[in-house]
Structure 1
Amino acid sequence: MKRISIFSFYIVGLLLFFSSCVSRKDTTYFYESKELHIPATITMEQPSKSFLTIQPNDELTITVSAIEQEAALPFNPPITGSSRISGGSVNIGGGSQLQTYLVDQNGNIEFPVLGTIYVRGLTRVALAEKLKTMITAYVTKPIVNVKLSNFQVSVLGAVRNPGTYTITNEYLTIPKALGLAGDMQIFGRRDNVLVMREENDKVTKAYLDLTDNSIIDSEYYYLKQNDVLYVELNDSQRQAGSLNPNSGLFISVASVLISLVVLFVR
């Protein structure tokens, strides 16, 4: 009878081992140790290097306009149909499409009239200013608009809707990226989120603690094109995944057998 009691205690211990309490700190973004009863203000300065810079394989949409629009037409060569020139095309209405410019491995684009232009490392605004200065020789007071057409990020791991998302806005924060993916699941680790970034022919990795308010000061808080955001499983979920899928059945059968043995011994 004593052996049976010890075995029963062992089974109960196993069940308790695989169930654990989760603290508020482990599941809360931007954790505060005390509840705040007044609006809290966090001052942050976006680091200059967090702005998007143009990299090889980026696709740029560039439009040029002016008071005399006819003078700007050579800088906006339209194309028709679904063919792709210099990397792709973007619909602009009426069935016509506007050419996009693919940044080659040397960091150049081929632009009408102006020829080869080095754009690697420039921000969208800096490139617009560069083109404006060059086009001024041909057009009076030109207006240049530059947009990154293939800004994508991938959100993987313990999120509700993992996948690759195309972004229309230039600025994308980690919380917004998680929002696009349906938010992090409860069993995802919030204190060790990985951001992988390919930039200047190098891949860098950063592990971020989203439960810490200081995360907003990180250069990785604003994501860049082709970043990969990965949320790993917490320890309890990884342990559960390593178990035999029939473990629950075995424990249930063992519990029934113990109950029957106790009943007959009595």
Structure 2
Amino acid sequence: MRPQPDRVIATRPVRPAFERAEKRLWFRDDRFGTAFFNAYLLLLCDEFEFVAIVRRYLADVSDPALKAQLKGWLGQEAAHGVQHRKACVHLDRVGLRYRGYHKVLSFVVFRVLFALMSRRLRIAVIAALEHLNTMLGEMCLRKVDYFGDSDAELSLLLRWHFAEEIEHRAVIHDVAEALRVGYVMRVLAGGLAYLLYTGILMATTVWLLLQNFDWCRPSTYWRLLRFAFVDERFVQYSLAYARDYLAPSFHPLGRDCDRYAAPVFAQIASPRH
């Protein structure tokens, strides 16, 4: 599978009503799952940082179709960032402490780590992060009722976000290829991105669990094991996506996962949203 010049990356005006989300265990009364997705809600507040970084590559893209897709990517990610920041009202409402932690984390990642990277390594790492977000999207959206017993507004945010991650999964990869990021740098960037992303996501999940007594309940650890190996199959998906990524001929569109995003787009096209 190669780039698709006619692929349209659309910006959708999705605005969840986060003031309606009041339940602490909003994801299926699942302590681990709620903490995991709260961590994701928090970390993706930094979409603006990625938008600011990637916008600087617009001038390097000469292909009109890819430039249009990149502009669509920028619009989608900026919209995600706005809604993720608004979703933090729920974290405040349920009494979670996160502002100091998030400020330190953002400084280390964007003012230190990304600042030390070369220009090509930076776009290669972001392309690898996009691959990981696509993995999470497929992992969750492959079951149409995955968020069925969860808070409607927070679930809307995640379903919309994951669906658009699937939709625009190839854009930054194609930009990196246009900048002649080779196989070795792609693999190194992929390893760095996986360690950084999964490490921070799981560390943040633990940080949120520690703020309640959820961390000392055996059911939390049982759910973690099921998340990793049985229900969401996080470990199996990580291995499958790593196998795809390490192939010399890798391209994100080679994995057929658009069918998981289509039902979400059909739903959010309704007048309510």
Give TM class, smaller chain: under 0.3
Q: Where is the strand percentage greater, Structure 1 or Structure 2?
A: 1
TM-score, scaled to structure 1: 0.19
TM-score, scaled to structure 2: 0.18
Higher relative contact order (CA 8 A, sep 6+): 2
